């Protein structure tokens, strides 16, 4: 049992379509739809767009410049601790990204500005 109030105003619904159907408040005639767009999972996306998701790192055309507000102040944050179980897999991924030219190794302190 669910208590609800029907409003005549144009408000955001509190019930989803699925909930309203289960409560038999609405009926959706799916047979009248010409097509229904479904949600694709990651393997479907990879299969459908292999030229985009081929494992290589690419670039977008053009260039950009990031500008900070003149009064912006940098904040130094300590690195998050990494669970020991993830150390090897994270190291492998970092090494892969360095080899691909996405990241550059830094062995010393860098200036914040």
Query: Looking at the predicted structure, is the pLDDT value of residue 80 above 80?
Result: yes
- Specify the pTM: 0.41
pLDDT of the residue at 109: 75
pLDDT tens sequence across 9-55: 877 777 888 888 898 888 888 787 776 667 778 888 888 888 887 77
Mean pLDDT of 67-93: 89
DSSP string, the chain: -------SS----SS-HHHHHHTTS----GGG-S--PPPP-HHHHHHH-TTTSSS-----SS-------TT------PPPPPPGGGHHHHHHHHHHHHHTTS-----S-----
Query: Looking at the predicted structure, is the pLDDT value of residue 113 above 50?
Result: no
pLDDT of the residue at 53: 78
Percentage above 90 pLDDT, the chain: 13
pLDDT of the residue at 62: 82
User: Number of C-alpha atoms within 13 angstroms, CB side, residue 83?
Assistant: 3
């Amino acid at each position: 049992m669910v208590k609800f109030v029907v409003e005549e105003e144009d408000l955001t619904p509190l019930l989803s379509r699925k909930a309203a159907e289960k409560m038999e408040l609405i009926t959706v005639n799916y047979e009248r739809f010409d097509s229904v767009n479904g949600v694709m999972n990651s393997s479907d996306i990879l299969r459908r767009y292999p030229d985009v998701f081929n494992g290589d790192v690419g670039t977008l055309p053009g260039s950009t410049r990031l500008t900070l507000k003149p009064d912006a102040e940098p904040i130094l944050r300590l690195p998050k601790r990494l669970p020991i179980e993830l150390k090897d897999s994270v190291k492998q991924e970092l090494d892969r990204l360095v080899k691909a030219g996405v990241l550059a190794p830094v062995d010393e302190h860098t200036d914040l500005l």
